[in-house]
């Protein structure tokens, strides 16, 4: 099938950047991204590209170049689906918060709604592409919905999971390690391979069966997260043995069988994917009665929760066992640098723990606003919205956030934090002035020479 029009359902962190790059590299294809969230679509259409709903380095430039030419953002979902030969489903698949599988399984209601919508409005044959991360065998459910419409429209279903990481999404999309396409119909697979073939060499486009493709996505995230939990486990051991986790990571990472990536000890991984996808993997394994497999992967999450908790425990015990009424300045709220995404950010859980101990929290993040921070805390339901508002203040100026603080907690590894005037910062803090570097981005000796009481992870 020759693809001239693509529709992508879901204008989020994956749909937006992925389709922008597909449009840039395929000027002959009209790409329309649709969403039920009219506010989000309006933000994508904002003339001022600094107001796009997602911050990703390089994204605004591509949107500016393609928007209105062959990239469109719209709320006209039905029309856009029907016009397209290829429809991507790129909606959210969060962990279920109710019913069977609550807290573990992926909630597939948004995906099912998309499938039903496609089934309802399609009048011509379509290739339907699962771009969302889905449990193994979801394609079966989508197929069943699409094949029972009663019309004579034909649907081919492909699994094409996305491997981009936030903060580097555009680079990852422009230069992917691989593109994975799982499917039954060779013709449909080749139609999608051609879209990617505009800029990805064919040896990087893997064709598999649909179930391998779905499972590979969950497995890739589980392996990546497992490396972080592994190094974080060693970081705690380092703190008891005078070994330095950075030195250990370097030493093991130089073994080409291990490799250097994803070995940065931290306050624990966050983001919308790792925890959700591992919980889902654990749930699937348990549902097949594979309890040892499930327990093995669950440990990655248990260790990650422990890492977040021990960071805040250490902060409290170092501040003479109480943070009640003390100002703690948090630098960073996003789950990693170069994104405005805060989903599952360790900062949320560390803040919540400190608030339970009656701390007063001052936050500065270069890309996250007060509304988002309050919403993240309110979502936990630990205290009233009013209490969160009273106890947590957000600042546009890091120095104002830090002024008169008892301690600084570095939550995100934003590059700008390294360039601050740390002597000046020492001068405006309460003494002793404590730094808890959850990302190991500052130099211990330099900080101690200024006068700080400095503690980091795994040293």
The residues binding ligand NAD (CB under 6 A) are 9-15, 35-37, 40, 77, 90-93, 110, 113-114, 132-133, 162, 164, 166, 272-273
Which of ligand NAD, ligand UDX, none has residue 458 at its interface (CB below 5 to 8 Å by kind)?
A: none
Q: Are 77 and 34 in contact (CB under 8 A)?
A: yes
Rounded to the nearest 10 degrees, the angle between the axes of helix 291-318 and helix 274-287 is 150
Residues numbered 216 to 245 that lie near ligand UDX (CB under 6 A) are 221, 224, 228
CB of 415 to ligand NAD, least distance (A): 20
**Closest CB to ligand NAD among residues 84, 249:** 84
* Number of other residues whose CB lies within 10 A of the CB of residue 27: 12
Residues numbered 274 to 293 that lie near ligand UDX (CB under 6 A) are 274
Interface stretch with ligand UDX, choices 123-131, 269-277, 348-356, 388-396 (CB under 6 A): 269-277
Q: How many helices (H) and strands (E) does the chain have?
A: 18, 14
327 in catalytic set:
no
| x/- letters, 315..344, toward ligand UDX (CB under 6 A) | --------------------xx--------
Which of ligand NAD, ligand UDX, none has residue 10 at its interface (CB below 5 to 8 Å by kind)?
A: ligand NAD
The H or E element spanning position 329 is strand 327-331
Q: Is 165 an interacting residue with respect to ligand UDX (CB under 6 A)?
A: yes
Sole binder of ligand UDX in the list 163, 211, 399, 426 (CB under 6 A):
163
**Closest CB to ligand NAD among residues 89, 127:** 89
CB of 366 to ligand NAD, least distance (A): 19
* Number of other residues whose CB lies within 10 A of the CB of residue 418: 12
Applying CB under 6 A, the site for ligand UDX has a residue count of 19
Q: Which of 273, 336, 360, 413 is catalytic?
A: 273
DSSP 76-127: -HHHHHHH-SEEEE----PBP-SSTTTTTSB--HHHHHHHHHHHHH--S-EE
Cis peptide before 4 (omega within 30 of 0): no
430 in catalytic set:
no
Q: Are 145 and 115 in contact (CB under 8 A)?
A: yes
- Triad 348, 349, 350: Cα angle to 5°: 95
162 in catalytic set:
yes
Q: Which residues of 45-81 are buried (b: 16+ CB within 10 A; e: fewer)?
A: eeeeeeebbbbbebbbebbeebbeebbbbbeebeebb
Q: Which residues of the shown chain bind ligand UDX in the complex (CB under 6 A)?
A: 162-166, 221, 224, 228, 262-264, 266, 269-271, 273-274, 335-336
**Residues assigned a catalytic role:** 162, 217, 273
């Amino acid at each position: 099938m020759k693809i001239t029009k693509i529709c992508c359902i879901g204008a989020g962190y994956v749909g937006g950047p992925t389709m922008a790059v597909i449009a840039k590299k395929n000027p002959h294809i009209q790409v329309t991204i649709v969403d039920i969230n009219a506010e989000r679509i309006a933000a994508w259409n904002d003339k001022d590209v600094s107001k796009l709903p997602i911050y990703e380095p390089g994204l605004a430039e591509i949107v500016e170049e393609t928007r209105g030419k062959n990239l469109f953002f719209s709320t006209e979902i039905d029309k856009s689906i029907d016009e397209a030969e290829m429809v991507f489903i790129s909606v959210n698949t969060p962990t279920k918060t109710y019913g069977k599988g609550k807290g573990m399984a992926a909630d597939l209601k948004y995906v099912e709604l998309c499938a039903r919508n496609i089934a309802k409005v399609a009048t011509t044959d379509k290739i339907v592409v699962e771009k969302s991360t889905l449990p193994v065998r979801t394609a079966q459910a989508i197929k069943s919905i699409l094949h029972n419409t009663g019309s004579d429209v034909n649907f081919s279903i492909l699994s094409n999971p996305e491997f981009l990481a936030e903060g580097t999404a555009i680079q990852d999309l422009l230069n992917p390690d691989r593109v994975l396409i799982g499917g039954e119909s060779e013709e449909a697979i080749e139609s999608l391979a051609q879209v990617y073939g505009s800029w990805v060499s064919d040896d990087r486009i893997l064709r598999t069966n649909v179930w391998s493709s779905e499972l590979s996505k969950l497995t890739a995230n589980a392996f990546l997260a497992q490396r972080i939990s592994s190094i974080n486990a060693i970081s705690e051991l380092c703190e008891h043995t005078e070994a330095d986790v950075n030195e250990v990571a370097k030493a093991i990472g130089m073994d080409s069988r291990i490799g250097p990536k994803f070995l940065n000890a931290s306050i624990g991984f966050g983001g919308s994917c790792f925890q959700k996808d591992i919980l889902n993997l654990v749930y699937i394994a348990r549902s097949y009665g594979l309890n040892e497999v499930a327990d093995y992967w669950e440990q990655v999450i248990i260790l990650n929760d422990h890492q977040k908790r021990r960071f805040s425990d250490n902060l409290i015990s170092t501040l003479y066992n109480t943070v009640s009424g003390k100002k703690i300045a948090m630098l960073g709220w996003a789950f990693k640098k170069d994104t405005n995404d805060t989903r599952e950010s360790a900062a949320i859980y560390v803040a919540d723990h400190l608030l339970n101990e009656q701390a007063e929290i001052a936050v500065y993040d270069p890309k996250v606003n007060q509304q988002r921070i309050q919403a993240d805390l309110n979502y936990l339901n630990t205290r009233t919205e009013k209490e969160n508002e009273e106890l947590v203040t957000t600042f546009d100026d890091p120095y104002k956030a830090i002024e008169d603080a008892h301690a600084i907690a570095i939550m995100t590894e934003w590059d700008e934090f390294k360039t601050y005037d740390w002597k000046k910062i020492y001068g405006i803090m309460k003494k002793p002035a404590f730094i808890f570097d959850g990302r190991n981005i500052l130099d211990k000796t330099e900080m101690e020479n200024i006068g700080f009481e400095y503690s980091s992870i795994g040293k």
